[in-house]
């Protein structure tokens, strides 16, 4: 249960949602994205409750803490399936280009269960560059990334907000200066 929770995120802002295990970070992200209903209160986008907003879902990418990939399918097939679900079209050459940027050259066509945890995370994150979306809601996106990958993702955060995007992210490690200016919302665990 959340008490006295009230915040606003403007274009060009990054909110770092922080708290110990069980504090409710994932639960809050699910409410923010409309996957869970709040017991009271509401989430609005452009002054409209998200359930009746025509633009919220198309402006949103939500990446949960699991990679959300089918291990039997290749990175290419997983991403094509995801794009079809989101009504977005990207040519295979465009998907290869994004996977290349994420350091996955040569791994595009093998079942993702054979990729390392960090490589699977990179496949999951590549969605951010396949569907242009103003709002990124990310649950522990740094999980399993190596040091270079963390620094790279933080720089992408900065670029996204510098371009007027919005990000809400959880992380168990503090964001570094690579991520640029951000505000922090602390959640506490109470039994």
Ligand X SMILES: Nc1ncnc2c1ncn2[C@@H]1O[C@H](COP(=O)(O)OP(=O)(O)OP(=O)(O)O)[C@@H](O)[C@H]1O
Q: Residue 40: left if φ>0, alpha if ψ -120 to 50, beta else—which one?
A: beta
Beta bridge partners of 117: none
Nearer to ligand X, 47 or 173 (CB): 173
Nearer to ligand X, 31 or 76 (CB): 31
Q: How far is the CB of 168 from ligand X (least distance, A)?
A: 13
- Spatial CA neighbour of 13 closest among 188, 173, 160, 190: 160
Binding mask 105-144 for ligand X (x = CB under 6 A): ----------------------------------------
- Spatial CA neighbour of 158 closest among 125, 139, 181, 174: 181
Question: Per CB under 6 A, does 80 bind ligand X?
Answer: no
* CB-CB contact of 160 with 136 (8 Å): yes
Which helix (H) or strand (E) segment is 147 a member of? helix 147-162
Binding mask 16-35 for ligand X (x = CB under 6 A): ---x-xxxxxxx--------
Q: Report how far Cα 148 is from the mean position of its chain's Cα atoms.
A: 18
Nearer to ligand X, 23 or 90 (CB): 23
Nearer to ligand X, 177 or 188 (CB): 188
- Applying CB under 6 A, which residues contact ligand X? 19, 21-27
């Amino acid at each position: 249960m959340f008490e006295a929770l009230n915040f606003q995120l403007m274009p060009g802002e990054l909110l770092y949602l922080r708290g110990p295990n069980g504090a409710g970070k994932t639960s809050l992200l699910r409410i923010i994205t409309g996957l869970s209903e709040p017991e009271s209160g509401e989430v609005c986008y452009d002054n409209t409750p998200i359930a009746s907003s025509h633009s919220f879902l198309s402006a949103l990418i939500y990446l949960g803490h699991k990679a959300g990939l089918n291990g039997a399918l290749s990175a290419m097939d997983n991403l094509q399936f995801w794009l079809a679900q989101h009504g977005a079209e990207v040519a295979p050459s465009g998907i290869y280009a994004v996977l290349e940027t994420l350091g996955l050259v040569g791994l595009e066509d093998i079942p993702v269960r054979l990729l390392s945890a960090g490589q699977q995370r990179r496949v999951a994150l590549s969605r951010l560059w396949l569907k242009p979306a103003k709002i990124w809601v990310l649950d522990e996106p740094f999980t399993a990334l190596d040091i270079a990958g963390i620094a790279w993702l933080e720089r992408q955060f900065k670029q996204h907000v510098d371009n007027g995007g919005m990000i809400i992210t959880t992380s168990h490690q503090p964001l570094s200066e690579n991520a640029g200016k951000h505000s922090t919302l602390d959640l506490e665990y109470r039994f």
